Amino acid sequence: MNDIKSNGLVPIIAQALEVMEAKTGHNIPLDKVNLAELGRLTGLSRSKLRTLKKNNFQDGIRTKLPRVPRKGKLDAFKDVINTYLKQGVTNSAVIFSEIQKEGFTGGLTIVKNYISNNKGLVPAKRILVAPQGSRGRRYTTQPGEAFQMDWGFTKAVDPSGEEYQVACFAIVCHHCCSAYIEFFSSAKQENLFIGLVRAFDRLGVPEYILTDNMKSVVTKRDIEGHPIWNNDYEAFMNTVGFKTKLCKPRHPFTKGRVERLVRFVKDNFLAGRAFLNITDLNMAALNWCDNKNNVYRTFLEGKPADIHAAKCSCFLHALELSDSLKFYLAPLRTISFDGFVNYESRRFGVPYTYTRRLARVMRQGDKLYIYSDDLKQHLTTHDVTWSCKDSFCIGQYENIEQPEEFPTAKVKTFIRQLPHEKSVTFDKFNFGDTEDMWND
């Protein structure tokens, strides 16, 4: 057994052989070792033991000698290159020509790779100064100075399982965070005007609005970078009396309040929401805004509604609902050949007596009002049932009276109409008697 230990066996095999020899009482030759018993003692697989047996269970692990690094052509010139890098010289051609003068025989690629791997030696382009903490400053405004507005979108499912998109108009006071939201069937410009008018009527009109580069607000910029406003939006600004400032894209510090409001609406108000129609949804949205505007905010040290009434309202001017402003609440619609106007993907009838091509439509709650194109004449009112069927109105089609003849003398002829006890017309199709005869 001592001979076996001195032959450099694998330690776990040597211990197992000692146990096996202690049981048998004699030495076991290596070529006659029971691999099954050896596997139970060592836990090694049969295939592994067969491989070790071919090598007489010798330890095949060899100790690797430490590899002596071979000196490269650039090693003698690294100090020179480091000196140039610390001086800010990173041009490989310049460094290559300088070390060639000192006897470098390598190529340019070696120099380039070394410079690329040691760019940390190059000093910064600007002078590093002592850290002064966060120098960022959030965009702030005075009370009543600015509102922020934006659109948000969500998916709704109708009773039949079809999906459609709903747009959420959101506006918030930049100073006190008083919010207003309203839902529309789309984010068209006419709905933007309706949302702004109703928000201004509720919160007041600020000095300017903060928004992003909406297509309904700005069309493009001139050579100097000044915005070129959409014509209809510019007319709306002049009518109401406010200005607009465009925010930098992907910069939430200027318009972050309304973007956070849109996210809060999706996570809080719309989560698990079920509604009957858009009117029902907007009524719930108004109640939600009233509740959130009366919640105490720690960073404001008060409630948004109280701060808005005490501070912001002093600098806001009230919205005057002039005749020119009413046109924005009732957008134009074209009357179809069969006497309908399309509003929010539904059709509503217009009286036949109105002969013009265009009409104005305004929805307030569950009522839809149709006016003439100049808003001087109220044509009809519809109950908004939110059904996909067409809504007709009284007098939608002309009732043409046709000529009718009446008797000139007294009618003296009489005829008698029989009661509908038996149908004479369908007697020939009565096969009851024939079937009874066949059954007999």
Which fold, 146-314? Nucleotidyltransferase; domain 5 (3.30.420)
Could you tell me the residue ranges of all domains in the chain? 2-54, 75-121, 146-314, 330-383
SS3 of the chain: CHHHHCCCECHHHHHHHHHHHHHHCCCCCHHHCCHHHHHHHHCCCHHHHHHHHHCCCECCCCCCCCCCCCCCCCHHHHHHHHHHHHCCCCCHHHHHHHHHHCCCCCCHHHHHHHHHHCHHHCCCCCCCCCCCCCCCCCCCCCCCCEEEEEEEEEEEECCCCCEEEEEEEEEEECCCCCEEEEEECCCCHHHHHHHHHHHHHHHCECCEEEECCCCCCEEEECCCCCEEECHHHHHHHHHHCCEEEECCCCCHHHHHHHHHHHHHHHHHHCCCCCCCCHHHHHHHHHHHHHHHHCCCECCCCECHHHHHHHCHHHCCECCCCCHHHHHHHCCEEECCCCCEEEECCEEEECCCCCCCCEEEEEEECCEEEEEECCCCCEEEEEECCCCCCCECCCCCCCCCCCCCCCCCCCCCCCCCCCCCCCCCCCHHHCCHHHHHHHHC
- The whole-model pTM stands at 0.60
User: pLDDT tens digits, the chain, 440 residues: what are they?
Assistant: 444 443 456 778 888 888 888 877 777 787 778 888 888 888 888 888 888 888 777 765 554 556 667 778 888 888 989 998 988 888 888 889 889 888 888 889 999 999 999 888 888 776 555 665 666 677 788 998 999 999 999 999 888 888 999 999 999 999 999 999 999 989 999 999 999 999 999 999 999 999 998 999 999 888 888 899 999 999 999 999 999 999 877 677 788 899 999 999 998 898 878 898 888 999 999 999 999 999 999 988 999 999 999 999 999 988 888 888 889 999 999 999 999 999 988 899 999 989 899 999 999 888 999 999 999 999 999 988 778 888 899 888 877 667 778 787 888 778 787 776 655 555 555 555 545 544 44
